[in-house]
Amino acid sequence: MKNDSLHVELGRRYQFAASHRLHTPELSEEENYRVFGKCNNPYGHGHNYVLEVSLSGKIDPATGMIANLADLDAFVERQVLEEFDHRSLNEDVAAFRDTVPTTENLCIEIFRRLQDFPHAKLERVRIQETGNNSFEYAGNTEGNRS
């Protein structure tokens, strides 16, 4: 069976817990509260995030897989989970020291960290923040590099 023309995607789900405070020094205290509401709590608040990673690639004729899940799991662990799980995004993750750690920005940062996975092409990152909120990022339109 010739697989060169097939487009197959691999989806993998991960979970991590992290806290954040939505606040920007570009707004007054009152404006921050108006924009971010209870998410502007000075002590922060936490989420149990669900991260979904979608990859595409050619199916290896020997294994029948796009990518080895153990390789992907180890890559995501190193690039994302070790730094984000059970952390304060504002205080513990350098990328969010000067960027509001909204889940939109979290998607972009995680995409940036995962886009160099060597065994398949990263298609998109989706993060479920709550039962009602999810966000997705598929890179920019020029070469899928953010």
Q: Output the six-digit token pair for 92.
A: 């513990």
pLDDT tops 80 at residue 90: yes
Q: Which of 23, 47, 123, 129 is catalytic?
A: 129
DSSP annotation of 74: H
Q: Output the six-digit token pair for 55.
A: 């990859």
Model confidence at 60, in pLDDT bands (50, 70, 90)?
very high
pLDDT tops 60 at residue 145: no
What's the pLDDT at 146? 45
Active site residue 107: no
With CA atoms as reference, report the closest residue to 79 among 59, 93, 62: 93
Q: Which domains does the chain have, with CATH numbers?
A: 9-137 (3.30.479.10)
Q: How many CA atoms are closer than 13 Å to the CA of 141, on its beta-carbon side?
A: 0
Q: Which of 39, 52, 119, 136 is catalytic?
A: 39
What's the pLDDT at 140? 81
Q: Which of 45, 77, 86, 91 is catalytic?
A: 86
Active site residue 23: no
With CA atoms as reference, report the closest residue to 28 among 46, 18, 16, 40: 40
Active site residue 86: yes
What's the pLDDT at 45? 95
pLDDT tens column, 94-128: 999 999 999 999 999 999 999 999 989 999 999 99
Q: Where is 55: in which H helix or E strand?
A: strand 45-56
